[in-house]
C-alpha cells in the first residue's frame, strides 16, 4: 500500500473555490483502480496549542493506494489533468509526500 499526503495551499481566499472543484472530482478518483482512500481535510477547531494549524488557505489531501502503479495511473488520469487545469491559477503551492508503511 502507498500513502500520499498532499498539502495544497491556495492563493488568499481561494480555498473554498478550489475545494469545490476538488470535491467535484472525488467520485471519479474513488472509481479508479486501487483507490482505497482519497479526501480533503482542513484544520480541526478547538484544540488550542496542541496542534499546529496549516491555516485558512491550505487543505491536506489524504490518500491511500493499493500500489505505486495505481498511484501513477491516478496522476495521469484525464480527470486529474482537467482538475489541475481548472485550479492552476488559484494555487500558491502544492507539496506531495508519497510514503510507504514503516
pLDDT single digits (tens) 13-45: 999 999 999 999 999 999 999 999 999 999 999
The residues with which 3 forms a beta bridge, in sequence order, are: 64, 99
Q: Evaluate whether residue 48 is within a structural domain.
A: no
Domain that holds residue 32: 2-43+53-99
Q: How many domains does the chain have?
A: 1
Q: Evaluate whether residue 18 is within a structural domain.
A: yes
pLDDT of the residue at 6 = 98
Q: Evaluate whether residue 73 is within a structural domain.
A: yes
Buried b (16+ CB within 10 A) or exposed e, 53-77: eeeebbbbbebebeeeebbebbeee
pLDDT exceeds 90 at position 72:
yes
Rounded CA separation 42/15 (Å) = 10
pLDDT of the residue at 48 = 85
pLDDT exceeds 90 at position 58:
yes
Record the pTM.
0.94
pLDDT of the residue at 40 = 98
Amino acid at each position: 500500500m502507498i500513502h500520499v499526503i498532499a498539502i495544497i495551499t491556495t492563493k488568499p481566499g481561494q480555498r473554498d473555490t478550489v475545494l469545490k472543484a476538488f470535491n467535484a472530482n472525488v467520485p471519479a478518483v474513488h472509481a479508479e483502480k486501487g483507490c482505497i482512500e482519497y479526501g480533503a481535510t482542513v484544520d480541526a477547531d478547538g484544540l488550542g496549542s496542541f496542534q499546529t494549524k496549516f491555516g485558512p488557505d491550505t487543505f491536506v489531501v489524504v490518500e491511500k493506494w493499493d500500489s505505486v502503479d495505481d498511484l501513477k495511473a491516478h496522476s495521469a488520469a484525464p480527470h486529474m489533468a482537467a482538475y489541475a487545469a481548472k485550479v492552476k491559477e488559484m494555487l500558491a503551492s502544492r507539496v506531495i509526500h508519497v510514503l510507504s508503511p514503516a
